[in-house]
Amino acid sequence: MAEASKLSGTERAAVLLMSLGDEVAADILKLMGPKEVQKLGGAMAGLSSITKNEVALVLDEFVEVVENQTALGIDSEERIKTMLTRALGEDKAGGLIDRILLGRSSKGLEALKWMDSRSVAEIIRLEHPQIISIVLAYLDGDHASEVLGLLPERLRADILMRIASLDGIPPQALHELDSIMESQFSGNTNVKSSSVGGLKCAANILNFMDSSVEQEVMENISEVDAELGDKIQDLMFVFDNLGEIDDRGIQALLREVSSESLILALKGADEILKEKVFNNMSKRAAEMLRDDLEAKGPVRLSEVETAQKEILAIARRLADSGEIVLGGKGAEQFV
């Protein structure tokens, strides 16, 4: 077992939860989303032979982090609502608060995030494409891409174009969506109008799809609306864009990626990205990685693409949590 400092962030969180006791850990897990629960559950199942010293190191690190925190995040949602309402008035602040606190009141939609992709596809497959686009826009990118891949091929491009064109949800579409949720789940969903979808959402979903399907959908979109296709393409983040992440970000990413996935992914990477990775490893580790790449020999393109998408998913997760800043065409600019 590695030292606590060598554990990934997820593994350290798993050690911490297992140290807190079942009831406390369960209360914490209730506050997390499906992806976090699944990831932490997998990490907990994979831990073995944890020593008292390793647990102590994790707990010490946690205490140090907590001691450096402020109280700014306490009741932050209510504080945001109060400040915005006072500054802008109830009418103007209402829509802005909905966008900032997206999905907090969408119980029916939230339930879909916990369902497997095939079940979601089965629920929405016969609905109007506009309804399908709203549902997919609400899901996480990788989840939405799996659902889209299970829908009829003839619908995919149309749905992606609708997602890219979403600018708030029309009241009628919300009414239909509310009806769907009400028929599938018990209780009222009380879904509020929120700003979901858009070009970045469409590009993110495409990023998670298999390359062959991605290319086919993009071709269909470009045939119908070339300008829209170009805008989506510009926002897509591909594996070689990882080379534009700063050194600190690359190091954070490498800590989360398995050696086997990294080797497979780099087999299809350009030399700039390979050197970026080598330069952010110890000399010994870089030499071992070079040797492993040479010894690996030819591999299937599908295996390379799968490994690259896995690493891209990790990169997006780290970017969403603020641990790294992604480069590429779709990245935000700083001045």
Domain co-membership, 167 together with 146 = yes
Residue 334: inside a domain: no
Whether 110 and 215 share a structural domain: yes
**CA angle at residue 328 from 326 to 329, to 5 degrees?**
130
Distance between CA 290 and CA 249 in Å, rounded? 21
In a domain, 12, yes or no: yes
Q: Are both 213 and 244 inside the same structural domain?
A: no
146 shares its domain with 227: yes
Reference 207, options 87, 329, 121, 124; nearest CA is 329
Whether the Cβ atoms of residue 120 and residue 147 lie closer than 8 Å to each other = yes
Quick one: three-class SS letters along 102-134?
Answer: CCCCCHHHHHHCCCCHHHHHHHHCCCCHHHHHH
Is residue 327, in this structure, part of any structural domain at all? Answer: no
Domain of residue 25: give its range.
4-67
> Distance from first CA to last CA of the chain, Å, rounded?
44
For the chain, state the CA radius of gyration. Answer: 22
pLDDT band for position 170 (cuts 50, 70, 90): low
Rounded to whole angstroms, the Cα distance separating 176 from 210 reads 31
Do residues 176 and 246 both lie within one domain?
A: no
Q: What is the pLDDT of residue 278?
A: 92
Per-residue pLDDT for 204 more than 60?
yes
Give pairs for 146-155: CB < 8 Å, separation 24+. Answer: 146/117, 146/208, 147/117, 147/120, 147/121, 148/205, 148/209, 149/117, 149/209, 149/210, 149/213, 150/117, 150/118, 150/121, 150/125, 151/121, 151/124, 151/125, 152/125, 153/216, 155/129
215 with 153, same domain: the answer is yes
User: What is the rounded distance in angstroms from the CA atom of residue 77 to the CA atom of residue 46?
Assistant: 35
CATH number, residue 269:
1.10.220.30
Among the listed ranges 135-139, 271-275, 320-324, which one has the minimum average pLDDT value?
A: 320-324
Span of 81-95, 222-236, 289-303 with lowest mean pLDDT: 81-95
Which has the minimum average pLDDT: 59-68, 152-161, 190-199, 277-286? 190-199
Over range 89-103, report the average pLDDT. 53
pLDDT number for residue 169: 67
The answer to the question of residue 201 being in a domain is: yes
Asked whether residue 111 falls in the same domain as residue 230, the answer is: yes
| Cβ proximity of 10 and 58 under 8 Å | no
The per-residue pLDDT for range 296-307, each reduced to its tens digit, is 888 888 888 888
Q: Are residues 115 and 136 in the same domain?
A: yes
> Is residue 47 a part of any domain in this protein?
yes
137 domain residue, yes or no: yes
194 has pLDDT over 60: no
82 within a domain of the structure (yes/no): yes
DSSP state at residue 73: T
Number of structural domains (the chain) is 4
Average model confidence (pLDDT) for the chain?
75
pLDDT beyond 60 at 120? yes
Q: Which residues contact 234 (CB under 8 A, 6 or more apart)?
A: 329, 330
- Same-domain pairing of 31 and 115: no
55 Cβ contact list (under 8 Å, min separation 6):
4, 15, 19
Residue 226 lies in a domain: yes
* Distance set, CA 124 to CA 46, 120, 206, 300 (Å): 35, 6, 19, 34
Co-location of 216 and 114 in the same domain: yes
Q: Are residues 281 and 204 in the same domain?
A: no
Question: Are 33 and 80 members of one domain?
Answer: no
